[in-house]
């Protein structure tokens, strides 16, 4: 059976070997302020699509939408411990909201002890992200990644070089403030029915990661054109409740069950080059694993 095909009920069937791993992290709170963040850094943390994503007509208040985005960046380490947060005015201008809205969002962060606010000194992050060691035992053969890309359709929603979350920065071996290339995509079957939502972070991209290229060629091909050859892949499969940010893109409602997949890819030098988060509609996608007993 080929690595990707359609089964009798119309769902995408993906056949591959499986490699499992797990990742643990913890958060601690301290109060050191080693460096400051300027207003220009906002645009290295959030894409233009994200900066324009706050919706006044949404059931969730604007301040809570902004608070949630900032909280996420703090908890995942993208806005690191000790960083001076943007001012209320900078947030208001960047996200096109009122200063009152920005202040309410910052007040919520302070109330949760994620930041500390001092008059005349600004607001500094007091929450520190500390990734623990990653354990990743190999239990199967490498997946044939390119096949699915050639038998389905891709639509790019967002892309650009951004500062990644702390865990991703650590795994990719990036320095603090160093950027990686993030791509947000939706995959559909040949009939145009979407079934997967992807967020990927890649280091070492110099050229070629454009909307046109990503929708026409597989990412593996584009990685090779950047001098990156993937030699090993490991994956974690799970399930969770779909979030509003991607649920509608794959035909789900927020809170419905979604199949998740975390994929890490290494090059021949055993350097992590790419991390992919995938969310699949379980009614439209089926993941099948073939395993055989080893010689030992």
Domain 25-130 has CATH 3.40.640.10: no
How much is the pLDDT for 200?
97
How much is the pLDDT for 26?
32
Residues 226-251 have pLDDT tens digits of 999 888 888 888 888 999 999 999 99
Residues 182-220 have pLDDT tens digits of 999 999 988 889 999 999 999 999 999 999 999 998 888
More confident residue, 288 or 61: 61
In the chain, where does the domain assigned CATH 1.10.10.10 lie?
25-130
pLDDT average, residue stretch 260-289: 88
Q: Please state which CATH number belongs to domain 4-23+135-289.
A: 3.40.1410.10
Residues 125-176 have pLDDT tens digits of 888 766 544 333 333 333 444 456 556 889 999 999 999 999 999 999 999 8
pLDDT band, residue 104 (cuts 50/70/90): very high
Residues 49-91 have pLDDT tens digits of 888 888 888 888 899 999 988 988 888 778 888 888 888 999 9
pLDDT band, residue 2 (cuts 50/70/90): very low
In the chain, where does the domain assigned CATH 3.40.1410.10 lie?
4-23+135-289
Residues in the chain: 296
How far are the Cα atoms of 191, 263, 293 from residue 143, in angstroms, in the given order?
25, 10, 17
How much is the pLDDT for 17?
35
Share of the chain above pLDDT 90, in %: 39
Residues 122-138 have pLDDT tens digits of 888 888 766 544 333 33
pTM of the model: 0.58
Three-class SS state of 166: helix
The answer, yes or no, to whether residue 5 has pLDDT greater than 80, is no
pLDDT average, residue stretch 251-276: 92
Q: How far apart are CA 131 and CA 146, in angstroms?
A: 31
101 CB contacts (<8 Å, ≥6 apart)?
62, 63, 66, 92
3-state helix, strand, coil in the chain (%, to 5): 25, 30, 40
Three-state secondary structure of 89-142: HHHHHHHCCCHHHHHHHHHHHHHCCCEEEECCCEEEECEEEEECCCECCCCCCC
The whole-chain average pLDDT of the chain stands at 78
pLDDT average, residue stretch 252-278: 92
The answer, yes or no, to whether residue 22 has pLDDT greater than 60, is no
More confident residue, 42 or 241: 241
How much is the pLDDT for 132?
46
């Amino acid at each position: 059976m080929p690595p990707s095909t359609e089964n009798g009920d119309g769902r995408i069937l993906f056949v591959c070997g499986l490699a499992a791993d797990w990742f643990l992290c913890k958060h601690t709170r301290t109060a050191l302020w080693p460096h400051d963040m300027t207003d220009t850094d906002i645009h290295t943390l959030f894409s233009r699509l994200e900066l324009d994503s706050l919706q006044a007509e949404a059931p969730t208040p604007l301040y809570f939408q902004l608070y949630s985005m900032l909280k996420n960046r703090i908890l995942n380490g993208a806005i690191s411990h000790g960083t001076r947060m943007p001012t209320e005015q900078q947030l208001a201008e960047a996200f096109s909201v009122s200063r009152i809205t920005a202040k309410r969002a910052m007040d919520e962060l302070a109330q949760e002890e994620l930041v500390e606010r001092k008059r005349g000194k600004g607001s500094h992050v007091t929450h520190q992200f500390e990734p623990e060691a990653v354990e990743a035992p190999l239990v199967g053969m490498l997946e044939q990644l390119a096949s699915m890309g050639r038998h389905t359709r891709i639509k790019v929603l967002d892309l650009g070089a951004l500062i990644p979350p702390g865990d991703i920065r650590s795994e990719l071996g990036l320095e603090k403030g160093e950027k990686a290339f993030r791509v947000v995509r939706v995959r559909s079957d040949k009939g145009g029915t979407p079934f997967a939502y992807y967020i990927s972070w890649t280091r070492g991209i110099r050229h070629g990661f454009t909307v046109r290229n990503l929708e026409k060629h597989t990412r593996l091909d584009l990685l090779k054109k950047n001098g990156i050859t993937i030699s090993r892949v490991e994956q974690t499969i799970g399930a969770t409740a779909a979030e509003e940010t991607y649920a509608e893109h794959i035909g789900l409602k927020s809170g419905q069950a979604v199949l998740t997949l975390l994929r890490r890819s290494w090059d021949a030098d055993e350097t992590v080059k790419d991390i992919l988060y995938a969310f699949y509609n379980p009614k439209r996608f089926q993941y099948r694993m073939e395993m055989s007993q080893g010689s030992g």
